[in-house]
Amino acid sequence: MSADLKHLLHELEHHLEHVLPAQAPIKDFVHHNTLHGFQHLPFRAALAAAEAAIGAHGFLPAVTSRAYFQQGRITREDLDAALDETPELRVNELLTGGLSRRAVLCAGLLHDFSPPAATWAWQVESAGVLRHPAADLSATARAALLRGRAESDVIPALWAACQGLLDTPPVAEAFDADAELAALLRCVGHRLTLRGVLLRLTGRDVLDELRPYLIRHLANFLDQGLAALHAPTPAQGFYAAWLASAQDDPHFALHDMDEWESTRERLPDNPVAAIAQSLQLLGLDEADWPAYLETLAKELPGWSGMVLWRHGHPGYAGLTAPVGLADYLAVRLVLEQVYAQHFAGRHFKTEASLSGLRGYFHRHPSELQVRLALYGTQQGALPESLADQAHRLVREATGRNGEEVDADWRPVARLIEAALAQPATNASWRLFRLAQHLGLDADAVQTLGATGAAALLECLAELTPERQGWVWLQAYERHYREQVFAALAANHGRGAWVERGGTSQTTPQAQLVFCMDDREEGLRRHLEERHPRIETLGAAAHFSVFIRYTGLGEVPTDLCPVVARPAHTIVESAAPETEARAQGYLQAQGLRRRWKTRLLEGSRRTPWGAALASGLGALVTLPGLALKSLAPAAAGQVTAGLRQRLEGTPSTRLTFTALEATPATPDAPRAGFTDMEQADRVFGFLRNIGLTSGFAPLVVIVGHGSNSLNNPHMSAYDCGACSGRHSGANARLFAAMANRPEVRALLRERSLDIPAATWFMGCEHNTCDDRVTWYDTEQLPSTHVQPLRDLQVALVEAGQLHAQERSRRFMSASLDMTPKQAFRHVLGRRHDFSQARPELGHATNASAFIGRRAATRGAFFDRRMFLISYDSAIDPEGTVLEPLLLANGPVGAGISLEYYFSTVNNERYGCGTKVMHNVAGLFGVMDGAASDLRTGLPRQMIEIHEAMRLLVIVEHRLDVLTAIYQRQPPLQELIGNGWIQLAAKDPDSEAIHRFVPGAGWVAWQAPESELPRVRASTDWVRGQREPLPPALIEMEPVA
């Protein structure tokens, strides 16, 4: 038995990994596909499966899409194309009577046909919906319908015709108590737990009562260091720890749960046995056990997911206590049993098992009817007066001591039966509305006849919410896709440095390699617009160096993608000449941190110590709060200035060269890279981005990160390629490696010749305030000092313009700010602890371009495009491209899909508003003090996001891409299943092909219209708050 159950639990673990949120503890937040567990399915099927499993719809609500249609963000043309691409709707077929299915379906997408049940009488009498044409009728449809006749002649007649064809008198359905009961109890294990059944019978939630108790224990067990006191015996697992504490906890007795006494005595020591025991007591068929446990786990998805995550990452953050799913489920089950027992005893005077409930309601059919009408699936359908009476019955029953007399419930049950018998006007109403949109009058409807009318409605009914969502999504995506394709086609051949090399005249003044991040598109564009001789490139900002990095005075942290583990350690240490200064720095920093801990921690420990700490702390917070409130930017600068004055700024070096080639593994990382390893990484990276010749005198590697105050989701704004950390250290390391003569010599052996006059620099771009921090400037050769100074000025200027462009999307920022003012504004956001939107993160991400910058340079992409540099000219067979797609595809998809799901359903897939969040155990956020853990993105991050799948455009030939696709199952999953959209741009012409799963490559037809041209990005964005379509920017040609 128990072996079986163990096996079953093991399988359940795997299954749940697909269903539960897989979000890591929040400090290690990295974007990932919210439905990663369903990724093996096609996108649509996955959404349907997820909806079935967790009950969350995965498309934007139709109302939102209709609003986009009104705003022109989706056009009729997009909608038609989307319908064409949904073969199951057979849009081009005709219905009986010669009407086209397309017209019916379009009407169904654009208008709401749900019957106005609650307001029917008012709609008819006051609004006159049966006398006047529908309010949302288009002018053309109206003209077609009326054909010059008066409304009063056409509309009432139409209604009469519709009614005549379809109406049947209302039928009251007799209530079959035993069947309903059986149906309800059948759901146990599949959709409901015991708690769910009781919820449908009483409207009260057992979980609400037990959640605070459960969370106290669970959060304490999982805690990563917020609390100072933990369960005394964590090593034995959660179940044992809980049981030890609960054994003599008067909690249950104080809540009159006498059931606990008997439960406690029979509880086994082993969690698996406890699970078996509880399920047996419930009386559930063994075949339903896995389903029941799954449903139970899904009732608190956040907490269950965290348990599962920790289970899969033993030893995380140095935590030794074993976290097991069985432990957690056992506690959940036992608690559910005890609380439900108490609950059922109070309400039904019976035990909380399936047989107990079955027996009770078999004897009380009327009570069942009343309760189901009140709290069951039809909740809210009862008229108020009736609901009041029913509530009264329930209330009295709860207070009574003896068993209920079912006859007392019968009168109300009869009334309910009568009230729920709906008149069958729904069908005729739909037909009436549809006929108007199709321009059919009474005669035309009569001609259709009953069968014709039924066919119309059937066609309309085929438009399920899922299909509606799918068609709208495709139309939405198409609208954006067309714009991007048109821009790429129009921009073909306009960008500089289509081919590398050439004369010194055309050599760029500087080359800057940014992160592929969509947020960098703006900064790069402004830099290039102002300084046409500067070239920018993009790549994943780990820059091919995966490291465990220890900054001066900091703790080690892994800077590499979340799927990798670094095998090399890099240490930042003081430069030899500033050794003494560094000592002082470290001492001062240590002192500051000790005092910070003393105040922060001390103020919540011993009473007297805390009194002293808060008294002292007040001396700091009084001026601190005043300054922060009045001028956050100044406050930030003052604190940074003070800190610098107290601690000093020692100049530092990275130690990164390993002298011996000892083995380097993630489990035993080695300090530094050997010369050969360095050359490998520099070579590989430069070849990836296509920078193998035509080097500028300055090549700058730009890492990035974001700083903000008061933001639990801070790592979501940082560099995704470095697991949600800052990637400046990687940039600095890469530049330092590439400058070493030994490395350059090795590179030359591989015919990668970096001229002696070329110098690499590392820096970090702060995406929150658009400032740039430079590294190792003191090592710069004197020849490069002036060029660097020019470049720094250029970057500040571009940063200001970029800040201005970004600020247009902050609703609270003025549209009239000058670049300088905007620069100051974003600085203020960074240092403002009241700011729930320090920056908007990846909120605008929508597409990715893998290819030469020349193809996108000179066009405006509204910070919506990941830009990954790659040159197909030096990689005709796609050997470089293949790993590039494998590495970057999932990253881009992860970001885009997390935003997608958090946007379409923020309540279920996202984590709601930030203002209520309360950090729990350092691993997640709750609403208030005892809610489920909230996963996904907060509302503040997705407000302006356009929910669509990432459009990935690769600059290469179709045959190469096809070959790669056929070789790589991970890409087949992502692309073939439609989690991202793929397109190919021909490197040598304007031709663009789109990959349609199931159909293959489809050539794109360029539209007639021309792309708008502007002098500068600033002209295009001026005064605009909304997302903007691409435009071409007039840039002066380079030589």
From CA 934, how far away is CA 936, in angstroms rounded?
A: 7
The only residue of 15, 18, 27, 565 in contact with another protein, by rule CB under 8 A: 27
Residues 39-68 that bind another protein (CB under 8 A): 63
Backbone angles phi, psi at 175, to 5 degrees: -90, 120
Residues 937-956 that bind another protein (CB under 8 A): 940, 943
The only residue of 3, 72, 98, 126 in contact with another protein, by rule CB under 8 A: 126
Residue closer to another protein, measured from CB, 97 or 609: 609
The two structure tokens encoding residue 969: 């199952």
Q: In a 3-state reduction of DSSP, which class is residue 867? A: strand
Residues 513-532 that bind another protein (CB under 8 A): none
Residue 665 contacts another protein per CB under 8 A: no
CB 693, CB 750: distance < 8 Å: no
Residue 926 contacts another protein per CB under 8 A: yes
Stretch that binds another protein, among 44-52, 605-613, 954-962, 997-1005 (CB under 8 A): 605-613
CB atoms within 10 A of CB 751: 8
Residues 706-765 that bind another protein (CB under 8 A): 709-712, 714
Query: Residue 705's beta-bridge partner residues?
Result: 766
Find the shortest distance in angstroms from Cβ 166 to another protein: 22
Residues 197-236 that bind another protein (CB under 8 A): 205, 208, 216-217, 219-220, 223-233
What are the helix (H) ranges across 701-764?
728-739, 741-749
Helix (H) or strand (E) holding 850: strand 847-851
Residue closer to another protein, measured from CB, 832 or 871: 832
Residue 157 contacts another protein per CB under 8 A: no
Find the shortest distance in angstroms from Cβ 920 to another protein: 4
CB 1016, CB 529: distance < 8 Å: yes
Residue 931 contacts another protein per CB under 8 A: yes
Stretch that binds another protein, among 43-51, 241-249, 279-287, 303-311 (CB under 8 A): 241-249
Residues 755-794 that bind another protein (CB under 8 A): none
76-84 and 465-491 are packed helices; what angle lies between their axes, rounded to 10 degrees? 110
Residue 769 DSSP label: T
Residue 178 DSSP label: H
Residue 550 contacts another protein per CB under 8 A: no
Q: In a 3-state reduction of DSSP, which class is residue 429? A: helix
Residue closer to another protein, measured from CB, 81 or 631: 631
From CA 67, how far away is CA 62, in angstroms rounded?
A: 9
Residue closer to another protein, measured from CB, 411 or 970: 411
Residues 415-454 that bind another protein (CB under 8 A): 415
Q: What would the x/- binding string for another protein be over residues 897 to 916, using CB under 8 A?
A: ----------------xxxx
Residue closer to another protein, measured from CB, 42 or 133: 133
- In sign, the C-alpha dihedral spanning 638, 611, 212, 246 is positive
Residues 612-631 that bind another protein (CB under 8 A): 613-615, 617-619, 621-622, 624-626, 628-629
The only residue of 1, 796, 873, 919 in contact with another protein, by rule CB under 8 A: 919
Residue 610 contacts another protein per CB under 8 A: yes
The only residue of 918, 962, 968, 1018 in contact with another protein, by rule CB under 8 A: 918
Residue 554 contacts another protein per CB under 8 A: no
From CA 198, how far away is CA 208, in angstroms rounded?
A: 12
Question: Total residues at the site for another protein (CB under 8 A)?
Answer: 109
The only residue of 64, 138, 163, 389 in contact with another protein, by rule CB under 8 A: 389
Q: In a 3-state reduction of DSSP, which class is residue 156? A: helix
Residue 859 contacts another protein per CB under 8 A: no
Find the shortest distance in angstroms from Cβ 215 to another protein: 8
CB 874, CB 690: distance < 8 Å: yes
Label residues 15-28 b or e (16+ Cβ within 10 Å = b).
Answer: bbbbbbbbbbbbeb
SS (H, E, C) 302-345: HHHHHHHHHHHCCCHHHCCCCCCHHHHHHHHHHHHHHHHHHHHH
Find the shortest distance in angstroms from Cβ 581 to another protein: 23
Stretch that binds another protein, among 493-501, 692-700, 834-842, 967-975 (CB under 8 A): 834-842
The only residue of 179, 407, 811, 999 in contact with another protein, by rule CB under 8 A: 811
10 Å CB burial of residue 469 (0-12, 13-18, 19+) is buried
Residue 400 contacts another protein per CB under 8 A: no
Find the shortest distance in angstroms from Cβ 560 to another protein: 22
Stretch that binds another protein, among 13-21, 340-348, 386-394, 431-439 (CB under 8 A): 386-394
Measured at the CA of 236, the angle between CA 231 and CA 240, to 5 degrees, comes to 70
The only residue of 15, 18, 111, 255 in contact with another protein, by rule CB under 8 A: 255
Measured at the CA of 286, the angle between CA 285 and CA 291, to 5 degrees, comes to 90
Residue 163 contacts another protein per CB under 8 A: no
The two structure tokens encoding residue 739: 């400058």
Residue 1013 contacts another protein per CB under 8 A: no
Helix (H) or strand (E) holding 957: none
Residue type, 133: P
SS (H, E, C) 370-382: HHHHHHCCCCCCC
From CA 631, how far away is CA 827, in angstroms rounded?
A: 11
Residue 832 contacts another protein per CB under 8 A: yes
